[in-house]
Structure 1
Amino acid sequence: QGAEPLFFLDYFATGKLEAGIAEAVVAGIAEGCRQSGCALVGGETAEMPGMYPPGHYDLAGFVVGAVDRAKVLPRMGDMATGDVLIGIASSGPHSNGYSLIRRIVEREGLSYEAASPFSDGTLGEALLTPTRLYSAAALPLIKGSLINGLAHITGGGLTENTPRMCPDHLVPRIDRNSWTPGPVFQWLQEAGGVELDEMHRTFNMGIGMVFSVEPDMVEIVMNQLSLMGETPVVLGDLAPA
């Protein structure tokens, strides 16, 4: 919605604190906050014997952000037919589709410690590539009023997430041939025999964030994203519903 992250709080619960686990989790949270430019202001740790098996823990958290009410996204009144959809890359499945991923790995008879069939390292390491955080790429575009909408591609993929930023009279029109999904998605589709439509409803397919941009702003947005180290892709446009 265009808000700038301000601060984050976490909650960590386990049956018995084990040396190194809580510290590693909090270190990961702190790194995420650093990448997003927000503060880790506190949290809670709870030991509840009997509630969790050894080695298991429960993790939750929330972030508070701020945005001027007049600049809340999406600006549906400014969106029009022909506006361009620009995407930037994900780092992998992020946090979505893991029920299907586990089923495919099980059916293939693979161990998570085995060599990854689509990348270096183990399969477990490849599937748990940390989720990308997009505030550093998105905030300059938001503050420069260069975009009218954002879609974070989470559960439901491009199929379900992109339409959520559109007004009722517009729909996203995405060309699936405009980018190449990463090797992890190609392997999951082939190994699992998953239909392409189902892949796009379940996974982000290599696109983690989508921007809705007016045609005369496309070159500026593409150049700015490139300067930030992104490889932006024109995915499609907005069409009449």
Structure 2
Amino acid sequence: MSDTSKTPLSYRDAGVDIEAGERLVEAIGPLAKATARAGVMGGLGGFGALFDLKASGYEDPVLVSGTDGVGTKLMLAFETGIHNTVGIDLVAMCVNDLIVQGAEPLFFLDYFATGKLENGVAERVIAGIADGCKQAGCALIGGETAEMPGMYAAGDYDLAGFCVGAVERGEQLTGERVAPGHILLGVASSGVHSNGYSLVRRLAEDKGWKLDRPALFDRDRLLIDALIEPTRIYVKSLLPIVRDGLVDAMAHITGGGLLENIPRVLPADAHAEVDADGWDQPGLMAFLQAQGNIEPAEMARTFNCGVGMVLAVEPAHAEVVRSRLEDAGETVLAVGRIDAGDKGCTVRGSAGTWAAHEDWSATHNA
């Protein structure tokens, strides 16, 4: 009988492949380099990433930071093998939170964790992150790849992102300028974005959706393609009008939907009145509502309902903002207005809006 107690062990025997990690760093080097912008110092591989704020053109900057993940939308990637878009979602969830405060995203770092590193999958995910960074105009300057045997099921991984941006002191958006009479404009979403997927996946399981079949609401598109569509990145279309002082507040419509996100950018004496009759609910949203018999109020606090961003603007600026956003390729929606009242949001709709319900309203006070 052999004595295995003296058999030499390696990290690879424990399930961690250091060489695979090194190969991944080599593979993603060109992806990160392609996102370089003014201010980037050095490349990947150091203990920390360097960024020169002065070289990026700011005189008296205020730093704005944000971190986020993709949530259970990742489960769709695991189930379908579509890994090239969730990285865009990761970047979008962070940079869209920065732009609503008037900040330009400068650099991004990611965290990719898995049980066993599969470079083909990791490379596709990180390629998506690099794509998102290019869309946002920020640099991918670092990150962490963690291989942790036993922590994740085979084929599973998790993602987190961290972004830092800057805005000149005194130019940040705080919502303080919002007042009764302001107009609320919406910028259309590209789909579900990255919130509400626990409910989406529950519906898919309960209703037995065939993800590889044409969608009932769009026969020219597979259902999975509509569900996994990456979150739209709004930085390049919104930053110019923010810098020109045309917007007084913006809300990124993420978890909590319209009801809970709009009040986050309002002063104490402002109440958002959202008219759901002001825009057509996208086919995907109507499909989700019908499949789950979801009440309109629940839709308004769970999904973005076709609105990825909400902008509060003075009436005199509304048409200029609309025109410039449309010229930038965005679809602009009439969302509502700001009235005097307690800080909060009310979403109303008439019968037939957001499925066949009676006249309805839902209110959230912050």
Whether the TM-score (by the shorter chain) exceeds 0.5 is: yes
Does the alignment pair 1:96 with 2:195?
yes
Give % identity. 53
Shift of residue 125 of structure 1? 2.2
Matches within 5 A, 1:1-241: 1-76=101-176, 78-119=177-218, 120-241=220-341
Question: SS where residue 287 of structure 2 aligns?
Answer: helix
For 2:348, the equivalent position in structure 1 comes to: none
Question: SS where residue 81 of structure 1 aligns?
Answer: coil
Question: SS where residue 128 of structure 2 aligns?
Answer: helix
The one-character-per-residue Cα deviations of 1:188-222 (angstroms, maximum 9, x if unpaired) are: 11111111111111000000001110111111111
* One-letter amino acid of the counterpart of residue 185, structure 1: M
The one-character-per-residue Cα deviations of 1:90-148 (angstroms, maximum 9, x if unpaired) are: 01110111111111112212233333222333322221111001111110111101110
Gaps of 5+ in 1: none
State how far apart, in whole Å, the 1-side matches of 2:119 and 2:215 are. Answer: 29
Output the TM-score relative to the length of structure 2: 0.64
State how far apart, in whole Å, the 2-side matches of 1:48 and 1:188 are. Answer: 36
Over aligned residues, Cα RMSD in angstroms? Answer: 1.2
Higher relative contact order (CA 8 A, sep 6+): 1
Bigger mean CA offset, 113-122 vs 163-172: 113-122
Gaps of 5+ in 2: 1-100, 342-366
Question: SS where residue 170 of structure 2 aligns?
Answer: helix
Bigger mean CA offset, 82-91 vs 14-23: 14-23
Bigger mean CA offset, 223-232 vs 21-30: 223-232
Larger-Rg structure = 2
User: Residues 166 and 32 (structure 1 numbering): CA distance in 2 closer, same or farther, change over 3 Å?
Assistant: same
Shift of residue 166 of structure 1? 0.8
Question: SS where residue 71 of structure 1 aligns?
Answer: coil
Bigger mean CA offset, 62-71 vs 104-113: 104-113
State how far apart, in whole Å, the 1-side matches of 2:337 and 2:171 are. Answer: 22
- Structure 1 segments (4+ residues) deviating >3 Å: none
Bigger mean CA offset, 206-215 vs 118-127: 118-127
Question: SS where residue 102 of structure 2 aligns?
Answer: coil
Bigger mean CA offset, 6-15 vs 43-52: 43-52
Output the TM-score relative to the length of structure 1: 0.96
Shift of residue 2 of structure 1? 0.7
